[in-house]
Structure 1
């Protein structure tokens, strides 16, 4: 019998808005944090805690249960699933809620104007007439949520990077655009010999220092404030990391950044590009392609392919050594290149 095409996949795509807003609202209400450590509660408990009627409380809890975020036991109590306990409880090392908040408050409104981005070829998450880039220190949403959200998105991705590559022979790492400090913190925890310098805009360094201090790593993670478009990168590092930096910029700017990094490296030094790479045939993978579309609303860039990066790296005097893949929320692999 011939396979029948149905519109159900389209309905699943369409219902993404319902699923995301349920997740975002439950995160905002700190539902998963309230249920952490094995605690459980009924719909009535949740309604009372937040001053809700029984009906909306039960509807949100049912949605979260159907999405695999909660477990409903036979006694009528809800508790966290292992995923929620690990990634949606505030204060946990790989808490993902910060990124959910960024998408909800920063990106979601911009998608109501995505057609404007498409027709005008410009971002809509920030005012292109008033700001030079997304990374403006006086943007209240960016200052309050963006960097915490980037740390949230990056923490588990950094954990995967630390396992995907062996940093045993890297003594000093320069994390270019490393605001939030997630990669420096995770890599220093995994590799006790490693020392990291975070290079970022002055206000981003100021935001990141307390997080590094809270991790107890301010003796191994240093900061250099600057702009990689106008300032030389600090020397004395045998590897440079660019994690989720290059997709923010157009092709000519990406090539400028790569050349700046190449100048800062000694012969034999490594450049690490940690990104969500679009496949060379540009047919996927879905998350990388959708995050690339997200750059239409966010920046002047996109997610690039490994082939594109490899050509630009060779032009900058670096020899690419292929992509080491992994399945992270903020990246799907790391491309390693060595300076001649």
Structure 2
């Protein structure tokens, strides 16, 4: 049970979040680079006012996001590595998502009061957003790539279909475990443009075929030994997922495996808390998506011709759910 002060402390974390978002917006970590600058110089570089900038920098230093010495401010090793655009380890995707979604939770009350605003989801996909989003998904995949690849590759992989697989990071990692395995990555053109750049740097990249297209138009018959359906389930309604799972069933060879990776909820729908939070995110950013419970998902899979379920937890609310084509 959260106590009064714990609730207040969590609300107050908005203050720290907005300070860090301001640092990203004004590209403070990039302007600082490997050197040290005064508040007035940083303000000129960021096209901002000197006095407010100094207060922001002092707050960042007080939080431990910067260092301050003799009126000059410096990056820490962490802020330079991950948030300076000149760093080879710059997390461009994470930065883009945090900046883009800064108002995400401010719209929560409106969505709860009025429901989803479907017109907001209409229109063409933004190629630049899709490109940066793909890099963000690649960065996030590093948390789970080893666990997922080891789980999948504990059995023969064969010909792998990575459906809506984004950057293809999991496919590339899985193929490292099986030299004869190969994969087909199906996703939108803008996504695959980034995926090609990412996969080109992977050892198994030459065994991954790119196929541009809408996942709802998948039309293969008994072609694949394994299908990876990673973080797609939560985007769609039960009805839409049923369509996709039927197409996956048709694409799999007899006794082929389907591997789902998602933020699955337990039966109480309150844990893991990351999955409960994520269901609200889907409420705000998808037409029909949500976090599904394990039992909801297994019921849906049973109805579309799958069985022999195996659950395997990851971290941060994510899990693997494996099943076989009946």
Q: Same fold per TM (> 0.5)?
A: yes
Measured after TM superposition, the shift of residue 217 of structure 1 is: 5.0
Gaps of 5+ in 2: none
Secondary structure, aligned partner of 1:257: helix
Residues 1:177 and 2:164 are matched in the alignment: yes
* Deviation larger for 276-285 or 187-196: 187-196
Q: Aligned partners of 1:323 and 1:188: how far apart in 2?
A: 22
User: Higher RCO, 1 or 2 (CA under 8 Å, sep at least 6)?
Assistant: 1
Residues 1:272 and 2:259 are matched in the alignment: yes
User: Match for 1:291 among 271, 275, 278?
Assistant: 278
8 Å contact kept, 1:239–1:272 = yes
Q: Counterpart in 1 of 2:323?
A: 337
Q: Counterpart in 2 of 1:80?
A: 76
User: Match for 1:104 among 83, 99, 104?
Assistant: 99
8 Å contact kept, 1:248–1:301 = yes
Residues 1:314 and 2:297 are matched in the alignment: no
8 Å contact kept, 2:221–2:250 = no
Q: Counterpart in 1 of 2:8?
A: 11
Gaps of 5+ in 1: none
Q: Counterpart in 1 of 2:115?
A: 121
Compute the TM-score of the two structures, normalised by the length of structure 1.
0.78
RMSD: 3.6
The 1:182–1:297 alpha-carbon spacing in structure 2 relative to 1, beyond 3 Å, is same
Q: Aligned partners of 1:74 and 1:189: how far apart in 2?
A: 50
Residues 1:238 and 2:225 are matched in the alignment: yes
Q: Aligned partners of 1:298 and 1:249: how far apart in 2?
A: 11
Secondary structure, aligned partner of 2:120: coil
Measured after TM superposition, the shift of residue 164 of structure 1 is: 5.0
The 1:168–1:310 alpha-carbon spacing in structure 2 relative to 1, beyond 3 Å, is closer
- Count, aligned residues: 324
Q: Aligned partners of 2:10 and 2:254: how far apart in 1?
A: 48
Compute the TM-score of the two structures, normalised by the length of structure 2.
0.81
Q: Aligned partners of 2:22 and 2:8: how far apart in 1?
A: 22
The structure in which a higher percent of residues are strand is 2
Measured after TM superposition, the shift of residue 224 of structure 1 is: 1.7
Q: Counterpart in 2 of 1:304?
A: 292
Measured after TM superposition, the shift of residue 301 of structure 1 is: 0.9
